[in-house]
Amino acid sequence: MANLLGTTLGRYRLEELLGRGGMAQVFKAWDPNTQRYVAVKVLHQHLAEDPGFRERFSREGALIASLNHPNIVAIYDFDQVETETGTIHYMVMPLIEGPTLKERIEAYNMRQECMPLHEVVRIIEGIASALDYAHAKDMLHRDIKPGNILFDERDTPMLADFGLARLTFGARLTQSGVASGTPAYMAPEQGLGEPGDRRSDIYSLGIILHELLTGRLPFSADSHLGLIMKHVNEPIPPLRDSVPELPAAVEAVVYRATAKDPDSRYWSAAEMAAELRSAAEGHLVSKQTMSISQQQRVADHSRRRSLVAFAVVSVAAFVVFSVAVLRATIGAASPATPTVPAVSAMTGGAVPFSTDFNDDDEYSVGWPIREEGVFTSRIQDGRYILRSQAAGQAHTAIFSPEYYQYSSLIIETRATLSTDSQPDSGFGIVFRYVDEDRYYVFAINGRQEVSIWLRQNGEWHELRDGADEWTIDEAVAPPGEPNLLSVIADGDHITGFVNGTRVVDVTDDSIEEGAVGLYIATTVRPVAEVLTEVTFDNFTITNAVPSMSG
């Protein structure tokens, strides 16, 4: 997006950049009509590439602006303007200069204190009231987090960005470049690519409640994808292990709000807030507390029962794989272009494959090594390096295709495109590789673009409905900076993440199983001496389910 500081949108002059997020930039702006400062939220221009966005902006913008509640940040105005670089969509809100809830939590943590229980109850009641009001109007938030909760001059908690997810996702809620929530607060069903409902918002509020009571989040992980899977599979740890004085009834409210099964959560935010106040005031007896905790355990068991066989087979597969993996060192090279799939539910299981490409790593020997010709691949200093000097070609480096025939799995790798490479060089993850003409590719390039492809019958098929072959996405880091690529493939549902942001969510069942690997590609018009050179720091497969033929 062009530098907008000092420009005027409508009647609003943008004077200061206040913040930047995955959906928008926020500016402090002067409104000459009312003689006051306001906040102007300018949506990222790539969101408007969706053909239906303009109509949706008018429809949903009016609905968002109709929300009138003391705990919801109001929308004064919304409009769009045409510029030389395209259409700019913006919303105008009151300028709230108080702290966010995130900043308030950080302040308590700096003092090594927990927020007083009465203060926690007051904040949750305010946000719950906002949710109940909006839910009654069939409006969901879908990205509730402390950074979206502000405090005005009267210290009233106010929920911001209401309806923005609905506006940017559209009817399918799977637009490229937008994640349906923040992984640390995301309900399990959202993490699995489902749109969710009012109970998804309640789950996020339950995670915030946990953080307010303990000073920390219930889950942590090395990657955003790992964090999502913890929300899907792992129970909330006991709060009273870290805060012994916390009433058991209050702890039980957190458990119920964050049940894995939405049917076991509170039906309304008002019900959650009322039970929290009763628990804080000591009106809930231990018998009631136990029954709620039992509901959480039953809900977790219900969500997992269909996945028990999945985990058992995964562990068994790991044993077989450990023996077989060292028996093959097979690679492949073929023409190609980028392509990516979508995602679905999985269970925890063994980690059947993980390499950091070091000399003492037994799994590094499974990768093809070539030191000659226009395409080379080598392991050096704990990195796997792929390089191509051939214009208009794609190459795949496949790990042990004879033994790695998996249908459902999670793949992660960290990759860096060299600054010497041509800017439109593509690179990414290959999965369900059958042969040189049948596989999927999830890829990004040096122009900070993303795509997902199916290679089949001598042709490339971009899998995102209505999307261009490549789409700019701010989640992608530029050349010289590492990008964490993640793919979840489960049945016909495939999801791709870049640096923790979900950028691809598609459905395709053209290929049901196959091997895994890495991918690089060049264009037909080389503009750099080194066409493509990409370093991969690691490669990890988790939650794999072997195919019946594997």
Residue 430's nearest CA partner among 509, 350, 347, 334 is 334
Concatenating the DSSP letter of every residue in 463-515 gives -STT--SSEE-TTSPPTTS-EEEEEEEETTEEEEEETTEEEEEEE--S---BE
What domains can you pick out in the chain, each with its CATH number?
8-94 (3.30.200.20), 101-284 (1.10.510.10), 311-546 (2.60.120.560)
In angstroms, rounded to a whole number, what is the distance separating the alpha carbons of residues 169 and 56? 10
Q: Does residue 346 have a pLDDT over 50? A: no
List the structure tokens of 332: 């492949």
pLDDT greater at residue 280 or residue 19 = 280
Q: Taking all residues of the chain, what is their mean pLDDT, rounded to a whole number?
A: 79
- The number of helix segments (H) and strand segments (E) in the chain equals 11, 23
Q: What is the pLDDT of residue 82?
A: 83
pLDDT greater at residue 24 or residue 316 = 24
Q: Does residue 455 have a pLDDT over 90? A: yes
Q: Under DSSP, is residue 473 helix (H, G, I), strand (E, B) or coil?
A: coil
pLDDT greater at residue 215 or residue 54 = 215
- pLDDT tens readout for residues 9-41: 999 999 999 887 666 789 999 999 999 999 998
pTM beyond 0.75: the answer is no
Q: What is the pLDDT of residue 202?
A: 97
List the structure tokens of 103: 């900043």
Q: Does residue 387 have a pLDDT over 60? A: yes
Residue 179's nearest CA partner among 116, 243, 237, 228 is 228
pLDDT greater at residue 144 or residue 23 = 144
pLDDT classification of 365: cutoffs 50, 70, 90: confident
Query: Which residue among the candidates 143, 161, 505, 508 is catalytic per the annotation?
Result: 143
Residue 493: what are its φ and ψ, rounded to 5°?
-105, 125
Considering only 309-318, 434-443, 541-550, which range has the smallest mean pLDDT? 309-318
Q: Under DSSP, is residue 224 helix (H, G, I), strand (E, B) or coil?
A: helix
- Residues 229, 543 contacting (CB under 8 angstroms): yes
Share of the chain above pLDDT 90, in %: 39
In angstroms, rounded to a whole number, what is the distance separating the alpha carbons of residues 269 and 258? 12
Pairing assessment for the beta strands 406-417 and 24-31 based on DSSP bridges? unpaired
Q: What is the pLDDT of residue 181?
A: 67
The verdict on whether 143 is a catalytic residue reads yes
- Cross-strand bridge partners of residue 426: 445, 521
Place of tokens 């009465």: 118
Q: What is the pLDDT of residue 290?
A: 35
Considering only 10-19, 318-327, 402-411, 500-509, which range has the smallest mean pLDDT? 318-327
Pairing assessment for the beta strands 493-498 and 483-490 based on DSSP bridges? antiparallel
Residue 319: what are its φ and ψ, rounded to 5°?
-60, -45
